[in-house]
Structure 1
């Protein structure tokens, strides 16, 4: 029986914008405060550490995605390079961890758009964006392009207002969090950098995958690094580490402290749009990995169905949207960030190990890149808050037990 394939419609620009829509927003509006609480005035150092690990992971992912241009990302790479179990564990970590990411970003939408009814707004946002994804990835890319342009304009206004303000600098208000705090902050910030995975998981819908993915991943990551650095510097200057850590709406408070209160409503709108852009691409990526795992029988095979008109995995998208909507009604934002970070770092650990097995003819990068990426993933994962480490470890153990149970059932 022929497996239905997804339509290839995405070019370099679309992929870069999907990556930007995934990264910009999650980091600035969700992870910046918790990271400042952990690292204090050393937040820029934590940002650099997260950026280095993200670069290594991005390079490994891009090389693997060019070699295996099909939906599923590291689920496919782990399966092909390391064996079925490691591919499954990567897919399990991605689906569960990124479902938590979807919940966190949906709650960010609610927190900025209508704080008094944050959970209700989160649920409505998930349902609306699931409907957008259902009618085709090209329409999703178009909406992401609009959202990214608007959010970048808002962030530029924040940076100009804060860095150009005559208000005294509060950069040194509050000490650094030490090495442990820096690594914990880097792990939390990694939650924001993981958006380039969306490009890899869309490999089956990308035109000329080897060229397109290889160019889009570093472009999206590089632009995001510059944006993060500028916005973090602006927020630290006006609020200081302690003020940034305590704020639930740090950028809105930053422009107020900088003497530009008229920008506050604009920032709130920008935060909402940024989170919506991230959520749009997150749901897109989780549904594609769900599709790949369903094709291989690790999830119900009915989830592998592709819509005959829209060319999308419609059942997988509906399931992901429903699960995220239910969790968004009850979950806590900061716990969701920590749990998601642990799961996604485990996912990229497998990606780096898979990249180490590539030959030169297959497009292997310098071996130091995946080695540094793998070590960085382990260091950042276990530097996260203890509750996140325990919950994430339990999640991976549950996935491994489910895999073993399925293999035992098939064998008997």
Structure 2
């Protein structure tokens, strides 16, 4: 069996995690989360989503160090819980994240050229796929550039926005209710990228050391950035205006009297989402490769390029499906749908981690965190918008049915 080359160190892995996370929460999810939970509720939901993500990250890091190969929870579920659990995790990841890729591509089009959003989206998918096909080292290098640009733009927004933050607007909506769980489920979409490090486990140097360090470092940095920007957007716009906004950070700089910066923020948004798309397509391609190796997906996708050492057939297949969704599908509800399937994916991650037992090398209560992560994932999943819950579980049921029929035949 062909193996992928181990080329990524701690810094590369952290950057890929940052590139996968930065963008979705800041530019896409804050508005619907504010609509669900209000102002104070948004901050509570962000902290809750971050805590569940931390539990998941701890479980993912332990499992990835034990099983340093491509596939993430698809592999962990198979090894610790059985073939069906692994299949369900892999199916949920591939289906949910493929829809997310289409949503991200359309977001790029909407920011750069609203009148031709689908055309721009297809171009973005083709360009990102071309970079990924050149090898994971090229992916890490490109992601570094994107992360620097995005951090610069977000830093500018945070600094100029902080000058106009109003305590009254922050506290205007003090209610915290069940909408917090809905908002936390939506915001979880913004944190899911940290697992990209685990799905690239076969390409990380010294995975037993690199992965447990890189995952919490990337997650902690992103949580801090999200909290700062959530306070700034709420303090400048207020909960109602934020909930109605389609471009919250652009509206922040416009609201404080700097409309000339809006185009910079829009460009930064496009760069951020390109970074998400770059690492997301890489992760989906590698999970597809892992499933094809075990014939849970067509065996023709089990191929590694002899020169660039990437799963080229899997990545081309995923790109083709994403382009089809971009051209024909309606992905407005992709965030909710993706959140349902990915939360199930991480529920399986935590269940697998519970079978590892205690870890004498870690001071954290890893088994308790895995149990809390499992419960948190299921709680957030069922509290997402009803249409997303029904669609997400229906797609998981279709996959489970196909698996059962294939096994029987």
- Which TM class, normalised by the smaller chain length? over 0.9
Q: Which residue of 2 aligns with 1:115?
A: 114
- Provide closer, same or farther for how the CA distance between residues 186 and 168 of structure 1 changes in structure 2, counting only shifts above 3 A: closer
Q: Which residue of 2 aligns with 1:366?
A: 366
- Give me the whole-angstrom Cα distance separating, in 1, the residues matched to 2:401 and 2:81: 19
Q: Deviations over 1:288-316 (max 9, x none)?
A: 00000000001111101000011000000
Please say if residues 344 and 381 of structure 2, whose CA atoms lie closer than 8 Å, have aligned partners that are also in contact. yes
1:233 equivalent among 221, 231, 234: 231
Using the TM superposition, give the Cα deviation of residue 334 of structure 1 relative to its aligned residue in structure 2, in angstroms.
Answer: 3.7
**Which is worse superposed, 359-368 or 27-36?**
359-368
Using the TM superposition, give the Cα deviation of residue 366 of structure 1 relative to its aligned residue in structure 2, in angstroms.
Answer: 2.6
Using the TM superposition, give the Cα deviation of residue 287 of structure 1 relative to its aligned residue in structure 2, in angstroms.
Answer: 0.3
Please say if residues 165 and 235 of structure 2, whose CA atoms lie closer than 8 Å, have aligned partners that are also in contact. no
Q: Which residue of 2 aligns with 1:375?
A: 375
Q: Which residue of 1 aligns with 2:298?
A: 300
Q: Deviations over 1:239-297 (max 9, x none)?
A: 11111111111110111002222211110110000000000000000000000000000
**Paired positions, count:** 406
Please say if residues 119 and 330 of structure 1, whose CA atoms lie closer than 8 Å, have aligned partners that are also in contact. no
1:81 matched to 2:80? The reply is yes
Please say if residues 167 and 258 of structure 1, whose CA atoms lie closer than 8 Å, have aligned partners that are also in contact. no
- Give me the whole-angstrom Cα distance separating, in 1, the residues matched to 2:31 and 2:333: 13
Please say if residues 357 and 367 of structure 2, whose CA atoms lie closer than 8 Å, have aligned partners that are also in contact. no
- Give me the whole-angstrom Cα distance separating, in 1, the residues matched to 2:220 and 2:178: 26
- Provide closer, same or farther for how the CA distance between residues 362 and 129 of structure 1 changes in structure 2, counting only shifts above 3 A: farther
- Give me the whole-angstrom Cα distance separating, in 2, the residues matched to 1:95 and 1:299: 11
Please say if residues 60 and 352 of structure 1, whose CA atoms lie closer than 8 Å, have aligned partners that are also in contact. yes
Please say if residues 168 and 238 of structure 1, whose CA atoms lie closer than 8 Å, have aligned partners that are also in contact. no
Q: Which residue of 1 aligns with 2:313?
A: 315
Q: Deviations over 1:356-401 (max 9, x none)?
A: 0003469685311000000000110011000000001101101110
**Which is worse superposed, 279-288 or 105-114?**
105-114
1:192 matched to 2:190? The reply is yes
Please say if residues 172 and 241 of structure 1, whose CA atoms lie closer than 8 Å, have aligned partners that are also in contact. no
Please say if residues 127 and 322 of structure 1, whose CA atoms lie closer than 8 Å, have aligned partners that are also in contact. no
Q: Deviations over 1:114-165 (max 9, x none)?
A: 1222222111111110111011110010000000011001001001111113
Q: Counterpart of 1:5 in 2: which secondary structure? A: coil
Q: Which residue of 2 aligns with 1:399?
A: 399
TM-score of the superposed pair, with normalisation by structure 1 = 0.96
- Give me the whole-angstrom Cα distance separating, in 2, the residues matched to 1:363 and 1:205: 24
1:156 matched to 2:155? The reply is yes
Please say if residues 181 and 383 of structure 2, whose CA atoms lie closer than 8 Å, have aligned partners that are also in contact. yes
**Which is worse superposed, 68-77 or 256-265?**
256-265
- Give me the whole-angstrom Cα distance separating, in 1, the residues matched to 2:279 and 2:142: 10
- Give me the whole-angstrom Cα distance separating, in 1, the residues matched to 2:343 and 2:178: 17
- Give me the whole-angstrom Cα distance separating, in 2, the residues matched to 1:361 and 1:239: 45
1:9-408 to 2 correspondences below 5 Å:
9-41=7-39, 42-165=41-164, 170-174=169-173, 176=175, 178-360=176-358, 366-408=366-408
- Provide closer, same or farther for how the CA distance between residues 66 and 308 of structure 1 changes in structure 2, counting only shifts above 3 A: same
Please say if residues 123 and 326 of structure 1, whose CA atoms lie closer than 8 Å, have aligned partners that are also in contact. no
- Give me the whole-angstrom Cα distance separating, in 1, the residues matched to 2:92 and 2:165: 47
Q: Counterpart of 2:169 in 1: which secondary structure? A: coil
- Give me the whole-angstrom Cα distance separating, in 2, the residues matched to 1:86 and 1:131: 33
Instruction: Give the gaps of 5 or more residues in structure 1.
Output: none
Q: Counterpart of 1:40 in 2: which secondary structure? A: helix
**Which is worse superposed, 372-381 or 324-333?**
324-333
- Give me the whole-angstrom Cα distance separating, in 1, the residues matched to 2:144 and 2:291: 29
- Provide closer, same or farther for how the CA distance between residues 255 and 395 of structure 1 changes in structure 2, counting only shifts above 3 A: same
Please say if residues 165 and 232 of structure 2, whose CA atoms lie closer than 8 Å, have aligned partners that are also in contact. no
Please say if residues 32 and 189 of structure 1, whose CA atoms lie closer than 8 Å, have aligned partners that are also in contact. yes
Using the TM superposition, give the Cα deviation of residue 330 of structure 1 relative to its aligned residue in structure 2, in angstroms.
Answer: 3.6
Q: Counterpart of 2:178 in 1: which secondary structure? A: helix
Q: Deviations over 1:322-365 (max 9, x none)?
A: 11111122444440000000000000000000000003469685
